[in-house]
Chain A
Amino acid sequence: MKAGLFERLVGVVGSDHATMRAGDLANYQYDGSADRATPRAVVMPASTAEVAAVVRACVECDCPFVARGAGTGLSGGAVPEGGAVVISMARMCNILEIDPDNRLAVVEPGVVNAHITNAVKHLGLQFVPDPSSQAVCTIGGNIAENSGGLHCLAYGVTSHHVLGCEIVTPQGDIAWLGGKTADAPGYDLLGVFIGSEGTLGIATKVVVKLTPVRQATRTLLAVYDDLAAASLTVSEIVAAGIIPAALEMMDRLSVQAIEEFVHAGFPTDAAAVLIIEVEGLPESALEAAVAVRDLCARCGAREVREARDTAERERIWLGRKSAFGAMGRLSKSYYVADGVIPRTKLPEVLAAVERIGAEYDLRIANVFHAGDGNLHPLIAFDDRKEGDYDKTVAAAADILRHCVKAGGSISGEHGIGIEKRDCMTLQYGDADLRLMANLKAAFNPAALCNPAKIFPTKRTCGESGRLQAAVPQAADARLVSEPAF
């Protein structure tokens, strides 16, 4: 690293907002994934101009950099591999404008997802994408990972709810992709920026769409003695022309973990539980609830109950949203996999997941967005047990192989980052990856902006290559050639 970068960074953001103290840096080694790497420095710019100046300083010193929101990412997207400078968005957390007449808001990237809805609720509006981490995750991170959530079945993912972004390009220039209006002429650069995992630039302002809140919501809980019957129900509901706002599944192990943790009232002896939420005007929500009830019964549900009031509804959702945390009580560590399949393939792929668990002798809980076919197998393991983590990664890779074989994808909403980059070859061929690499080079020619993410290294999928903070293992050797400061 060239001398003087840290001084330049301090010059941009002030000494209170830049650090290279080991104790501080340790807090930025990780996100929600298993990989770790120590940054060279952490800076907290307060404005677009400061972000641009920080990026230009990094570029001039040939130093990699990575933007960071709340650090809740699950694939290593914000892990500063190769000792990158972390650009934290924590101070850019203002809601700049709320325009209810045009049903949009302009926010800074560090704004917490749920804070947008909280700020517009009184206007009868909401920001729809609601990842499980919405109480802490930020909109900048949602854009990086094109986050989904519990309600994408009816409303789509982040890219459907963002009209425009001001970005700082990997060269340190400021540009608007999209804006406040629809259909900006020219290439849909916004469309490709969303979900690019922070490798094509840094969002510094975001124009989000706001959606009216529905009048009536009905939440049903369907209980099954048979996992396959629950899977069948999912396809049958959609085939019947009903698109619930949310359609979630939990298997026995996850229900048991949740019950022990938050007492949501789920029956612990069930093989599977579906949460089905329908909404609309009171008339249509009622009709849909009746139809769903009927379909569940016909597919073999043991019991279908409906939340009688808001408190009961919230208890059901609290249970669902606590699933990952609840797993922490069952096991020392757990690994969240994320794969997507066509929803009609649920029965066969869930059976395969069960077989994989048995084969590797690992406990796997399933709690997932069934309506989207987005699986989240939670694999329990003991990190202190020799080889347990490696076994877990290998099992997760086997699950992804099944997802791709079924016509699906290796990530529905958590992204590729570091964790799954070596699995990209399961889904994409050389020509596909070359196209992505060419696109990346158009935005990020020096490859300093969140380097080494998404693209495969020389490892194979399922081969454990966890980055340890003490010894950064960059895929790109150039990045580790320089010692930290």
Chain B
Amino acid sequence: MPRGELRTLNLPIADELAGRSGIRPRVRPDECAKYAIADEVPKLVFSPRTASEAAKTISLLAHEGASIVIRGAGTKQSRPPAPVGVDAVLDTARCMGVMEYEPADLTVTVAAGTPLADLQAALRLRRQFLPVDPPFAAEATIGGLLSARSAGALRQHYGSPRDQVLGMRVCLSDGSVAFTGAKVVKSVAGYDIAKLFVGAYGTLGFIAEVTLKVAPLPAEQLTVLATIARVEDACACASSIASSALFPMATALLDAGSGSLVRTLVPSGAPAWMLAVRCGGSPAGVRAIADGVTRLFRTAGAQAIEMLDVDRHASAWSDIAELAGGSAHPSQRWLVCKIACLPTEVASICTAAGALPAAAHVVAHPTAGVVFVHIDARDEHPRRAALELERSCSGPHRTVEYLAAPLELCRELRQPLPSGAPLLLARRVKAALDPSGTFDPGRLAGGI
């Protein structure tokens, strides 16, 4: 369905939906206004409790030719491009709860609308956790963070959220409910289609339930951080740590401006890049890792090396995650860009960001080769700065993605299409899984 073609939704459909699925959608404009996506008020909002309730409504709406945007906590909806028309919103808020959890199996099955914070609280009781630290951690839902493939610095040791996904129950636009993957830690039985739904931004179907691999919480954690004057030295230091046998949990690199926003840290000395390394393990093990990291810091000429105890450590990493994803700043003000590059290219990307024709902040996961650049959209030329960033980041295998933008920019910006992206295959996959083009058409790069 071409983008911008506003399909008329027959409103008595609400009665039919209520009759068929047992849930009454909201259609009053004042109620629907709360679910507006980039100022587009949907004509209808439905909040299913289960996969089968969702499937019934989806199938009816798809039949009517309506488009559906799936919404969890709504924290990623300012991602460009803005949708041109939103017929219906599937609100996942009532689709929540831990469904199966066996700690000794290290697996948990949850409904998609479950807030990450709730899941972490349930796992913490058994000294386990889902090893992801995305931004918007207080509000984000599991379904939302997977759909947006929202990863934090913990990806260094644990992999990105897609690596934790074992199985999924999904609702498709033909009204079917399908299970893909398995509920055990490894399975090669048919295609691993769950991977496709991670990072698909809800354009293939609705993730109703997901089975995830969880990890034991390290017995102890502490963080070593330091300031380093030159970004090249900071990146080289991060690389030497990642190539060592120390295996820390996470590494983050912050420019002086971002570093000063981490609440528990006392600013010291001249403005400089800040490198933070999160260590976890047994009491003796964690100390040995931290000592090793400190030695490598010294070799790199780091200043103000500091070890954070457990309390300051937790709050520092929560701040770092929020700073990376842009949730620490109001999105009315910032354009949040994510650049993926080789780890050895992080320093030059950081330098390029500093030379943009607009004020910018940088937070990076240097060992994963991911840089978040926040461009001040109140500047005169945020769009020019964005294009400048795209230009300076172009190169083989590098990609630029806009994660969030103020509304006006959201309407203007297109997601850059990486050169050599397998667009034909991606279009065929979309057509195969969502032939009616029901799920948020046009929201991905390349108009998928």
Contact = CB atoms under 8 A, between A and B. Distances in A.
A and B associate in one complex: yes
Nearest to A403: B184
Interface string A118-133: 0000001100000000
B127 interface: yes
Contacts of A407: 183-184
A48 B289 CA distance: 43
A440 B292 contact: no
B422 A181 contact: no
Interface of A: 99-103, 124-125, 145-146, 148, 152-153, 156-157, 159-160, 164, 169, 173, 175-177, 179-192, 194-197, 200, 212-215, 235-236, 238-239, 241-243, 280-284, 287-288, 340-344, 372-374, 407-416, 420, 424, 427-429, 431-436, 438-443, 454
A243 B247 CA distance: 14
B178 A186 contact: no
Given A189-B426, A409-B184, A442-B425, A435 B195 contact: no
B176 interface: yes
Contacts of A152: 185-186
B432 A439 contact: yes
A185 B445 contact: yes
A438 B219 CA distance: 45
Interface residues of B, number: 92
A372 B170 CA distance: 25
B397 A414 contact: no
Contacts of A124: 243, 245
A169 B425 contact: yes
B401 interface: yes
Interface stretch (B82-90, B102-110, B223-231, B380-388): B102-110
Contacts of A411: 187-189
Nearest to A147: B188
B344 interface: yes
Contacts of B196: 187-189, 191-192, 439
27 contacts: A99-B342, A102-B343, A148-B186, A176-B422, A182-B155, A183-B160, A183-B370, A184-B340, A186-B418, A186-B423, A189-B429, A192-B196, A214-B245, A235-B104, A238-B104, A281-B285, A284-B281, A407-B183, A408-B183, A411-B187, A413-B186, A416-B188, A428-B179, A431-B176, A435-B176, A442-B425, A442-B429
A192 B192 CA distance: 5
A19 B217 CA distance: 57
B21 interface: no
Most A CB within 10 A of own CB, among B170, B190, B219, B243:
B190
Contacts of B246: 281
B355 to A, nearest CB: 22
A342 B149 contact: no
A189 B424 CA distance: 11
Nearest to B107: A342
B411 interface: no
Nearest to A443: B425
A413 B184 CA distance: 12
B306 interface: no
A183 B151 contact: yes
A213 B246 CA distance: 10
Contact of A340 (B127, B184, B415): B184
**3 pairs of A and B residues whose beta carbons are closest in the complex:** A191-B195, A284-B285, A241-B216
A374 B398 CA distance: 37
Contacts of A284: 281-282, 284-285, 288
B104 A281 contact: no
A184 B415 CA distance: 12
A340 B187 contact: yes
Given A180-B397, A191-B162, 5 more contacts: A175-B422, A185-B445, A192-B195, A283-B282, A435-B170
Contact of B188 (A102, A156, A415): A415
A427 B369 contact: no
B245 A186 contact: no
Contacts of B187: 340, 408-409, 411-412
A237 B154 CA distance: 24
Contact of A212 (B204, B247, B370, B418): B247
A156 B285 contact: no
B172 interface: yes
Nearest to B398: A181
Interface string B209-251: 0000001110100000000000000000001001111110000
Given A124-B243, A284-B281, A435 B369 contact: no
A343 B127 contact: no
Interface in B356-406: 368-370, 396-399, 401
Contacts of A433: 190
B446 to A, nearest CB: 7
Given A156-B163, A157-B186, A373-B105, A434 B176 contact: yes
A341 to B, nearest CB: 7
Contact of A374 (B155, B186, B421): B186
B116 interface: no
B433 A438 contact: yes
Contacts of B160: 182-183
A196 B190 CA distance: 7
A280 B398 CA distance: 33
A243 B189 CA distance: 25
B314 interface: no
A186 B446 contact: yes
Given A213-B245, A409-B184, A439-B193, A182 B288 contact: no
A101 B188 contact: no
B336 interface: no
B368 A182 contact: yes
- The interface centre, meaning the residue of A189, A235, A241 with most chain B CB atoms within 10 A of its CB, is A241
A236 B370 CA distance: 37
A374 B187 CA distance: 9
B208 to A, nearest CB: 13
Contacts of A431: 176-178
Interface string B406-435: 000000000100101111111011111100
A449 to B, nearest CB: 13
B342 A180 contact: yes
Given A103-B343, A431-B178, A188 B104 contact: no
Contact of B219 (A235, A241, A435): A241
A315 B179 CA distance: 42
A179 B341 CA distance: 10
A342 B216 contact: no
A419 B246 CA distance: 43
B191 A439 contact: yes
A385 to B, nearest CB: 30
B448 interface: yes
Contacts of B323: none
Contact of B190 (A173, A373, A416): A416
Interface string B88-128: 00000000000000111111000000000000000000011
Contacts of B182: 340, 408-409, 427
B180 A432 contact: yes
B432 A441 contact: yes
Contacts of A183: 149, 151, 160, 199, 338, 340, 370, 399, 401
B370 A340 contact: no
A105 B445 CA distance: 28
A412 B188 contact: yes
A155 B104 CA distance: 18
Contacts of B149: 183, 188
Nearest to B199: A188
Contacts of B128: 241
B444 interface: yes
B308 interface: no
Interface string B136-174: 000000000000010100010001101100000010100
Contacts of A197: 188
